[in-house]
Amino acid sequence: MAGEPEPGMDREQWVATFCRLIGVPPPSREEMGALLKLAATAAHASERPAAPLACWAAGRSARSATELQKVAESITSSR
């Protein structure tokens, strides 16, 4: 399929290609870092599949990365 990422791409290249193919701008380095931190919080506080699902929900929300991280940490600290 045309436009498919090449094997061996690093994460930034893969994400940039994916974003281009779905018609959205790629995340900035700061946004990528915040999403990875959110994913790590979700994965370490629960099961690993929580990470991509939390990032999906984050993408659908209108909340800032800082607010989303606070929400994720509140779940972890309330356990």
Domain boundaries in the chain? 28-77
pLDDT at position 4 = 62
Average pLDDT, the chain: 89
Q: What is the pTM of this model?
A: 0.77
CB 44 within 8 A of CB 54: no
As a whole-number percent, the residues of the chain with pLDDT over 90 amount to 80
Rounded to whole angstroms, the Cα distance separating 14 from 4 reads 9
Give the chain's end-to-end CA distance (angstroms, integer). Answer: 46
Q: What angle do CA 33, 51, 69 make, to 5 degrees?
A: 50
pLDDT tens-digit series, residues 32-69? 999 999 999 999 999 999 999 999 999 999 899 999 99
Q: Give me the torsion for CA of 62, 65, 29, 42, rounded to 10°.
A: -110
